[in-house]
Each structure stands twice: as C-alpha cells, then as structure tokens.
Chain A
Amino acid sequence: MIALGLEGSANKIGIGIISHPSPSKPPLILANLRHTYISPAGEGFLPKDTALHHRAWVVRLIKQAVRQAGVAVEDIDVICYTKGPGMGAPLQSVALAARTVALLWGKPMVGVNHCVGHIEMGRSITRASNPVVLYVSGGNTQVIAYSSQRYRIFGETLDIAIGNCIDRFARTLMIPNDPFPGYNVEQMAKKGSNLVDLPYAVKGMDASFSGILAAADTLASQIDENLPESKRLKTEDEEGRQVLVTKADLCFSLQETVFAMLVEITERAMAHVGSSQVLVVGGVGSNERLQQMMGMMARDRGGSVFATDERFCIDNGIMIAHAGLLEYETGVVTRLEDSTCTQRFRTDEVFVGWRE
C-alpha cells in the first residue's frame, strides 16, 4: 500500500510518500520533501504568515513528490494529513489541500495525530521495539510510553515546550532563524564553556521551562558588550576565575540545564515502566548534545538511546504518511465531514490499533 502524507502544523510544510510492501517488510520511503518558512532574526513565525507560506508551496511539493516517487495517481491508496495538534491556520491550509486532492483523486483520507506520526516514524527508522519516547519539539514536550492500545503521557511540560523555550531564548539574543534557531543555539553552545545558573524546574515527572525564559531576558541585558565591565554578567570558569559571560556561554548553559531536566524525567519514566530503551523524536531530538546526555543516562541504566537524523526528527510528511497508513491498515478512515483540524489533539486520544 502507498500513502501520501501532508504535514503543516508549524513553520515546516512536508509532503511524503511511503510504501508498505507487506506487513512483514520495512516501509519504503519514496519521497520526503520539506520547505521551511523562515522569519527574520528576533521574530517568531506567526500563524497567518506561516499559512500563506504553506498555501504557496503545497501544490508544487505534492507534484514534485509524486514525480520523485515515480508513482501514478492510481497507485496511491490513501491521503493522510495532520489533524493536530498545531497552529490553526497552517493546519487548515494543509488539510484543505489534502481534502481537495482526496476528492479529485477519489481516495480515502486519514487524519493523523502529529505526535503519533513522530513516534511511529522514529520506531520504524530506529527499529526500537518498545521504548520510552521523549518527544521534544517547538510545540511539544512529552515523555510517552505505550500501554494497552494508547501512547500514555507519563510526563510533560507544564507550560511551554522546550523547543519554544530555546527558540525564544534565541530570539532574545537575536540569534538567526536560518536554518532554524535551535540549530544555531546548538552551534553556539559548542563554543561556550562557562556555566551560568538557570532555574531548574522538574516537578515529579513534569517539567517547566517558563522560568528559564524569564531569566533569559534578565541575563541577555547583562551580557551586552557595550556595558562597562563592572556591570557585565560574570561567572566562574573551570579554574574558579571570574570571567565575562558571552552569548555562547548562555547557549551552553541553556542546553545543559534544560537537557538535564529532560534526562531526569525520562529516567524516572524508564524506572517506572521498566524499560531500557529511549527513543528521542521531534525537532529538538536532532540536537547532538541532547542525544549525548540521554545516551549517558541510558548506558548507565544498561540500555540504549535511539534517535533519527534531521530528515525525520524535524516535522516531515513521511511520518504522517507512515502513521496514517498504519491506521488505514487497521481500518481507520476519516470521513469527509470529519476531516477538520484541531489545535489540541492529545497523544493519548489516539487508539493504537496496529500494536499488540
């Protein structure tokens, strides 16, 4: 079976075409295209502008994907789109395109949960059998484990997602958004080495990131190079000497603090569930430092960490096609009247009929 997947819940629009040759064989990725809406440094992307971008790109990406996959319209069995969660206007723009394509081609539709798409694509690529899933992105931060036909949320952020925190931290420091702010923060962090205290807010299995964001505004104003040296923020280096804090140090400190929080809540879930595997999915999952820290924890517990590269970590159409095809193969079809979007779509609302 072959599925066409459309994803556009945030600033990336992705079109993927995937084939499931048979239940026992791994899926084939026939096409996986993506275009990112990039806003200027210091600005986040707004729903209206993002929707305009998705409308401008959706048709040619579908056309190119079909050509690249080398399939005919008759070969495609189902059209999958992101039902939610995400931004309203971008979701609606892409769902409308999916609906129109499904009507023109005479194909059934499946509305897919964005988080389940990430999980299933991560499981498929890494072959992780039953991992604890850390789903980290600009819009979501959840620790998930599968149980009784549901992806259960064991822990999550209580306010903003970690990717949102990082993106807004980058905005405060005027770090560029191209290719994406999280990547630029990661590169700058590699050049930093001095740790600055930031609020560490783990609450049981949950975490909170808004305190860090508030601290960032204060700290950013104290590292201005135009300030007299006596007023600039200082911290101690590895030898205990007072040093001036740079932008790179702030990025380094941000990563160390927020990733340690994620490692802690993930480890707590692993202990609770009795799992030894961690699967990191979502855009922030492409961060090498996070993978490194998670890997240390997993190895200490006698397990392993799984992660995918940026083709699949970051929002893409192939994950929607894959998860949608899994649902379709269990008999799930979204009726035309139900082919709307929802900005809130909890991960545990989805009945996972394709797992035991």
Chain B
Amino acid sequence: MAKVEGFPCMLKISIPFPNPHLASTALRALSVDAELSPLVRRSFSLSSNPSSESSSSEASTESVLVVDYCATTNRMLRVAVNGFFESLGVVVGVMKDLDVDVIGRPMAAGEGLEGVQGLEEVKV
C-alpha cells in the first residue's frame, strides 16, 4: 500500500483461509463495520496464496484475506488492529462451528453451557 500523507504507521495483514468462498465471506462480513476513528484507515482485498501450487493455473484461488492498515500513531494502529483480530475471531469461530456442513456436529469438549438460561432437553 502506498504511503498516505499523515498516516505513517502502516501494517499489512494476510490471513489464509481454506478456500476462496470462506475468504470472500470473511471480507464481506468484516468490511461492513467502518473504522470508528478518523485517525485509522483500513482496506480489504483478496489475493492468491503464493505457496499454492495451482496459483498460476486457476484464477479463482484467492483464498487469502489481505487487510491494509495505516494510522497516525502506533498506539492508534495497535488499538485498531487488536479490535480487528477480535472481530476476526468471531468470524472464524462462526465458520468453524456454524457453517452448513458442520453445524450438526456436537459441541467441542471445552465449550460448556454453564450459566445459560433457557436450556431444555435437546430434542433428537
């Protein structure tokens, strides 16, 4: 990303996904919420995984989400990027457990439901 006047602190984050569909879904989900601070700018794009053997032969192998950040100070950059990673965690968590092909699987062992109100016996 080209240097932006007044926004010297830059960071590029590349996040590989298993397939282009998931990468595109993540981009669409994450890009809706704007950055709250005018001191931070952010843009999303997709790119191919350079280590992929088929990268030269297929056009639809863009399974890497690329996020370009620039901010006025390192502190603003850190706050924004931390927030982004927390949001990314939600998206990946939803994909891991709630995608159409995995939602029927039982809950992972470490995830209990203690403290949840409204639980009833599960109808099977």
Instruction: Enumerate chain A interface residues (CB-CB to B < 8 A).
Output: 31-36, 51-52, 55, 58-64, 66-68, 70, 73, 88, 92-93, 95-97, 99-101, 103-105, 311, 316, 336-337, 339-341
Contacts and interface: CB of A to CB of B under 8 A. Distances in A.
B111 to A, nearest CB: 5
A64 B117 contact: no
B3 to A, nearest CB: 29
11 contacts: A31-B118, A32-B118, A34-B117, A35-B116, A36-B115, A62-B94, A63-B98, A70-B123, A92-B87, A96-B29, A337-B32
A340 B28 contact: no
Given A63-B107, A70-B123, A100-B91, A55 B86 contact: yes
Interface string B90-124: 11011111111001000100010101111110111
A269 B10 CA distance: 56
A61 B95 contact: no
B118 A66 contact: no
Given A61-B116, A68-B122, A104 B100 contact: yes
Q: Considering residues B93, B94, B117, B118, which has the most beta carbons from chain A within 10 angstroms of its beta carbon?
A: B118
Interface in B1-56: 25-26, 28-30, 32-34, 36
A89 B93 CA distance: 18
Contact of B119 (A64, A99, A341): A64
A205 B1 CA distance: 56
B14 to A, nearest CB: 20
Contacts of A67: 122
Given A59-B98, A73-B100, A73-B103, A99 B32 contact: yes
B118 A34 contact: yes
Contact of A68 (B34, B115, B123): B123
Contact of A55 (B29, B90, B95, B100): B90
